[in-house]
Every structure is written in structure tokens, then in C-alpha cells.
Structure 1
Amino acid sequence: MRRPSANITAALVLLGVALAVLLWQRPWSGGSEDVDVVAIPDDARVVLADQLTALSRATTEQEFVAAAGEGSRARTFAEQAWQAREALSVTDVSLRYVSGGDVADRADGSTLATVEVSWRAGDASPVAGTSVRSTQVGLRLDPRDDGTFAVRGAAAVGDRLPLWLAGDVRVQSAGDAVRVVSIDGGVPDLDALAAARAADRSVRATVPEADGRLTVIAPSSRATTAALVGQSQEDVAAIAGVTTTVDGSTGTARVVVLNPDLFAGMDARARQVVITHEAAHLLTGAVGTSMVTWVAEGFADYVALRDDDAPLAVSAGQILAQVRADGPPDALPDAQAFASAGGHGLGAVYESAWLVFEMLADETSNDRIVAFYEDVRDGGDVADAARERLGLSVEQITARWRAYLEKSASTVS
């Protein structure tokens, strides 16, 4: 019988030690503090109401952390929420119990309570506005041995998750005009502040009267993007970036929210185009208007691609392929065409709208194009704006655009 060598014996000893450590640590249990499931107290609603009052009354980070409950996850949640409040100039926070929290709904014994949260965002906030904001959120809670709860985290409950409850929030600024709010590290491999600054410069160079502050929110996950804009993950799956309100605001304070899932597959050029496109919507006041879609989307890409040196095969490859196969569209794209494309800023219909403005740029000045866009944005009739600012009828624009598409498709491989 062969005896094991010294190396094999040593390996077996190390394996035994590793197994012992693994059994002791039990990483599959979700952390040592959650090994034993604790029963939810009979007076859970009273306990929660008192705990939420303590969180509301906290005037220091230490008080807020203490009110959030014991355990590393509760401490992390409370520290991040408090630091986000400071970074975003959030004040007058109030949390009020609504429902839930009295039945464990997960195998780990945790429960979900619906809470009404209200707060203010000061003038210095990236999501500025001093009015009281209010929404309902779900707090994930771990019952503790002492009959209290530990707040593990917050989630959206049929509405937008407040930005200051979204995770590890960091704010970067470039003067007063550009701010980036990163969440849990931001979009991987993206210098969001540099991209936002470049977008701001491009918009203001094209539209001298562009006004306002560009705020870009860069989450690290699609789940966070969806929670911030009040949609499902499926709804935002095809959206690279969107200009909207966040943080419970119903006013005019707009931000650009990025989807890191789509950014992961983009090169640096494509990422910049997305951010500049959304910045054009935001800084030129297009969001919230009822302007004709091909004008809004085509102009945003006109701004984003004005200094782009990529060939048309890259920037308009999809629409040109369609033209080669089926000929040019009979009419300028309508709202239904954009809706059918998914509303995500990508695809042939968006390229076709951009090429309207590329065609116009070959024939007239940037000032005239901007004046046409601003007239339509401000509620003017497209036909009237085209005649007054461009000296063309919509029919003439359509005919020249179709010819431009045919010529481009025949010369681009």
C-alpha cells in the first residue's frame, strides 16, 4: 500500500482547515448577524412608529445611525443616507409609518414596511427646489433580539425612490453649470464629470441662449436607474439615458439619468453622444413640451453629432441600410414611428430625424436652424417656423431630405 507523500498530507490538512473556516463563517447565510432568524415583535407597528420618529428627529449622523438599529447593514444604510442628505442639501426629513412591517416575507425573517417620506432640497442641491417633497418608500427591516428593527435598505414602492435613499451618493461639480451625482460608484469605466462638461460645452456652442444647470445622475445598476425614474427594469432596459425629474419633484428641475447596462456595451464616442443628446433636451428646454418629435430628437442629435467625425456608415448606418433596401421613407417620421422604436434614442428612426438637420446644415446657417427649433419648441407651427426661419415648406424639407437619404445611401457602403 502506497503512503501519501508529505505534499499530499499537507494539502489534506489545509483542505480540512479551509472547510472548518467555511463552516464557521457560513457565507451563504448572508452575514454572521443574520444567522439566527428573529421573530417579529407583536407590537411591530408601535415599535416602527417610534423608530421612524427617532429617525425623523435625528439632528446628527450619530443619532440617525443609532435610530436605524444595530448591525453592520443598518449602520451602512444610515451612514450613506445621512451623507447623501448632506451632499444633496436635503433638510426637514420626516418618516411616517403607513403599513406593513408586521409579517416576515423572506426566509431570512426580514419584513417590508411602507413609509411616507417627506423632505426639502435646498437651493444648493443638484436637484434644487425648496418645496416639500413627499413619496412612499419601502424599508427592508431585520427584527432584532431586543424587540426593535434594523433598517437594511430602501426601495421604491410604486413611485420614484428619493435620490438620498438610493445608496452611496457622491456629488462632483464643474463650476455652477455642471454637476454629476454618482451612486454606488457610478457608471463603470465612465468619467461622467468630463462627459457632462463636454456635453455642456457642445450645447452652449450650438445654442448660445441655452440656460440652466446640467445635472447628470450616474447609477451603478439598472435597478437603481429604474427606481429613480419610477419605472420597471424592463421599461428602462433599452434606454441609455433619459431627461426627467427625480427625487419626487413635479416641477421643472430636470436631470439626465444614465442606464449603466447599455453604457457597458458602448465605446467612448457613443457614450458622449448619448449624454450630449440628453443635455441638449435639458438645456434647451425641450423636456415637458409638446413639440414635434422629429424636431426635438433630430435637433438633439444635431447638437450631439455636430463636431463628430465618424462616417455616416457609423452614425446613420441603420437608416441608410433601410434606404438601400426599400428606398427613402415617404414622410418625415411621426410620433408613432418614434414610439414604435422604443423611445430609447437609438435606431433608424432617430438617425433619419438627425439627417433632416444634417441636410439643413448643408444649406443654411446654424443660427437659422436654432431659430427654427426654438420656434417649434415654443409652440409654433412647424410649417410656419420652416417658412419663416428656413425659407422652406415642410414639403420642400421632406423632398430634399429624401434625396439626401438616397444620395447618402448610394455613396456610403
Structure 2
Amino acid sequence: MALLVWQRPWQESDDAVVGIPADAPSQLTAQFRALSEAGTEAEFVATAGTSRDAKAFARQAWRAREALGAQAVELRYVSGGDVADRADGSAQATVDVSWRAGDEIGLSDTTVHTSSVVFRVAPQADGGFSVIAAAPREGALPIWLAGDVAVERSSGSVVIRVDGGDEALPVETMATAARAAVARVVPGTKGDVTVVSPHTQTQMARLVGQPLEQVRQIAAVTTRLDGRGGTSADTVIVLNPTVFSTMDRRAAQVVLTHEATHLLTDAVGTRAESWVVEGFADFVALHDDSAALAVSAGQILAEVRAGRAPTRLPTAADFDAEGHGLGAVYESAWMIFRMLGERYGDARVVDFYEAVMADTPLDSALATSFGLTVAELTAEWRAYLAKSASTVS
């Protein structure tokens, strides 16, 4: 009798393998349409399927939608779901997902965010499917499909945590500090700093729509909410907890302020020279930093002392996230702006940056702001690096 109670042969098990019905595409088309039309959590959960996994997944997704103020959510079945690819009988269905963010998270409430998403679907014994998981197919995964979501607003910043986010550092406090730091250097700064704090590096890669290998070295990245399209009002900073959480408080704050500079100066998608964009972001992030130059520029100065001083300004290829010596490249770009700031002051540096960001040719912006040619800037920067390397141990 004890064995009979343990097995419960009369009760359907989530582990039971059920064959996929012949009309899977039409069933999935109707099911995802119904999910789009669901107006309450109860409707959404019921439409997602009868299994425990489907109910848990749907509750999580609905509550994340609510936290983000998601509007006009539409899930349109495209293909798949008709061939099992796992031992449990489940399959993959490709679905186009679109939605608009609410102003609760400081982003545009008019931009439609779109992604191609692969949903894991499992056929049910009583007909239909259970929708149990989601992963990006092309582009970024919608935040509300990434996990449990919590939103915290403070003065000038919004932090969106996924599955608790990065718990090692006080991200909310640091986001507010980053917003204030940019405002001190760039007059008239407007807008909120919105930070997405995932719990895992895999979540981060999915949220920015990049392969895991391409984000392993990155502590944070500033990107459009859906990884493509949108306007500057849809820009967020996404943290990589595997890197960000291992930093000390000072270094992490520098990273966050650097990214906040990109966000607040509309640098995402710019055609400006990479060294201008990245060097200026570090100019702002390190503006009031009290660390020694050996800390802030130790890698590039070590390269100079070793006889490997750069002979030209950094190029876009030098900033490749998978490249060797990335830290030295960023430091070398910052040293250009550090030199210009010391010689000409913040106002002229900001004027130069804003001119380049407004598509003024680099040589024209240099001439107007500093009376320099590209060749003269390069020569003066190389001399500045050499002098700094000789005086810093």
C-alpha cells in the first residue's frame, strides 16, 4: 500500500512524455494569441498551460510585466513546436515578441521593443501545450522573460533587478552617484540613469543579445533596451555580475559612471571616433577620483615603459571586447582627455566632445576647441604618456 501511495499511478505526472499533436502550429498560433490577449494574471497563467512549470513560468513573466509597466504585449507564433527535441517530449517554438515599456522605469513609453524568442513548449495529455521557458533567438531577450523582476526608483536613477540582481554592491546608491557625477562635468544633463542588474552572466548576455564569449570581459554595457532600434530614451546600462561584483567599490563606481556618461550623452549608436566616446566617458568617471595615476593608468604606462608606446590614436578595432590589452586601450584614450583637461579646462573639453557627437569632423572640432591638428594631438599625447610613465612608478 505504501508503494501505491508513493507512485500515485492514477495522477498525471509532469514527467509523462506526451506526443506532439499533428496540428501543433495551429494550436500554438491560437495559444500565443490568447497569451497576448490575457488581461489578468489568472488568465495569463491559465493560458500558459496546466503543468507546474508552465504556471510558475507564467506567474513570473506576468509579475515582471507588471513591475516594468509593460504595455501592448504581443506574442506572435512564427514556426516550430512540431518536432520534439528533448527526451521529455518538449519542442522549441519561435515567437516574435513586442511590447512597450511603462514610464515606471524611466524609458520611452512609445517605442515598441521587438525580439525573436524561442519558447520551450511541452504537449499536454489533455491537449494543447505548456509554455515553460524562453530564450532569445535573435536580438535581446525581453526583460520580463528573463526572471523575477524588481524595480527601484530614486532621484535621477532606476534600477531593475533580475532574480535579485548583483547583491555584492549597492547598485541603487551607485547609480544615483553616477547620475550626479555626469551632471557635475556636463552642464544641463537631463534624463534618468536606468540600470539593469541581472543575477548571472548568462542573463546579462541574453539581455544584451550577445554571445556569452563576447561579454566575459565586460563589467557593464550601455545599450538600447531591446539591443536594437529605439531612441536615446530607451537606453539602459546592463551589468555583468560575474565581473562587476568582483570589483572594489571605487572601480565599480568608475565603471557605472563611465556607462552613465554614454547613456546621458546619447553615445549609443554614435558614429564618433571610439577614442573620443570612451576617453570622454572615463574623463567624467575619473574626474574627481583620488586614486594615483599608477592605479588609473597603470596598464598603459607599463606598456610605455616597456617600449610599446602607441604610435597612433586608438581605433575602433582596438576597443574590441575580445582583444588583448583592452584595459591599456581604455586608459590610453582617457589620458588624451586628461591631458586636454589639464591644459584647456573642462568647458573646452565638453565643447569638443559635444561637437564630435554632433557629427562635426574630428579635425574641425580639434581645431575649433584646442587649435590642434590630429597629428599635433597625437604627438602631444605620446609625449604626455612618456612623461607620465617616467614619473609614475
Question: With structure 2 as the length reference, what TM-score do the two structures score?
Answer: 0.90
Task: Report how far residue 209 of structure 1 moved.
Answer: 2.3
Amino acid corresponding to residue 59 of structure 2 in structure 1: E
Q: Which among 326, 334, 353 is matched to residue 307 of structure 2?
A: 326
Q: Distance in 1 between matches of 2:136 and 2:208?
A: 10
Q: Structure 1, residues 196-255: CA drift from partner, whole Å, max 9, x if none?
A: 111111101110122222111111122222222221111222222111112376121211
2:318 aligned counterpart, secondary structure: helix
1:294 corresponds in structure 2 to 275
2:50 corresponds in structure 1 to 70
1:311 corresponds in structure 2 to 292
Q: Structure 1, residues 52-108: CA drift from partner, whole Å, max 9, x if none?
A: 232122111111111111233222211121112122221222222221112211122
Q: Which among 118, 121, 138 is matched to residue 158 of structure 1?
A: 138
Q: Distance in 1 between matches of 2:252 and 2:110?
A: 33
Aligned residues: 384
Amino acid corresponding to residue 149 of structure 1 in structure 2: F
Q: Distance in 1 between matches of 2:127 and 2:58?
A: 19
Q: Structure 1, residues 130-187: CA drift from partner, whole Å, max 9, x if none?
A: 2444332111122222122221111111222112211111111113x31111111112
Structure 1 residue runs of 5 or longer lacking an equivalent are: 1-19, 26-31
Query: For the structure 1 residues 300 and 345, does the alpha-carbon distance in structure 2 shift closer, same or farther, using more than 3 Å as the test?
Result: farther
Query: Aligned ranges for residues 87-102 of structure 1 at < 5 Å?
Result: 87-102=67-82
1:280 corresponds in structure 2 to 261
Query: For the structure 1 residues 375 and 236, does the alpha-carbon distance in structure 2 shift closer, same or farther, using more than 3 Å as the test?
Result: same
Query: For the structure 1 residues 132 and 160, does the alpha-carbon distance in structure 2 shift closer, same or farther, using more than 3 Å as the test?
Result: same
Task: Report how far residue 346 of structure 1 moved.
Answer: 4.4
Task: Report how far residue 33 of structure 1 moved.
Answer: 5.0
Determine whether 1:390 maps to 2:370: yes
2:287 aligned counterpart, secondary structure: coil
Query: For the structure 1 residues 33 and 225, does the alpha-carbon distance in structure 2 shift closer, same or farther, using more than 3 Å as the test?
Result: farther
1:198 corresponds in structure 2 to 177
Bigger Cα displacement from structure 2, 119-128 vs 253-262: 119-128
2:210 aligned counterpart, secondary structure: coil
1:81 corresponds in structure 2 to 61
1:181 aligned counterpart, secondary structure: strand
Query: For the structure 1 residues 161 and 178, does the alpha-carbon distance in structure 2 shift closer, same or farther, using more than 3 Å as the test?
Result: same
Percent of aligned positions with the same letter in both sequences?
A: 54
Q: Structure 1, residues 96-136: CA drift from partner, whole Å, max 9, x if none?
A: 22211122111222211112223333444444232444332
Q: Distance in 2 between matches of 1:386 and 1:343?
A: 28
2:317 corresponds in structure 1 to 336
4+ runs of 1 displaced by more than 6 Å?
Answer: none
Query: Aligned ranges for residues 225-304 of structure 1 at < 5 Å?
Result: 225-247=204-226, 250-252=229-231, 253-304=234-285
Determine whether 1:128 maps to 2:108: yes
Amino acid corresponding to residue 175 of structure 2 in structure 1: A
Q: Which of 1 and 2 has greater Rg?
A: 1
2:166–2:241 contact (8 Å) kept in structure 1:
yes
Q: Distance in 1 between matches of 2:112 and 2:372?
A: 48
Amino acid corresponding to residue 347 of structure 1 in structure 2: G
1:178 corresponds in structure 2 to 157
2:336 corresponds in structure 1 to 356
Q: Distance in 1 between matches of 2:17 and 2:24?
A: 16
1:162–1:248 contact (8 Å) kept in structure 2:
no
1:385 aligned counterpart, secondary structure: helix
2:36–2:74 contact (8 Å) kept in structure 1:
yes
Task: Report how far residue 373 of structure 1 moved.
Answer: 1.0
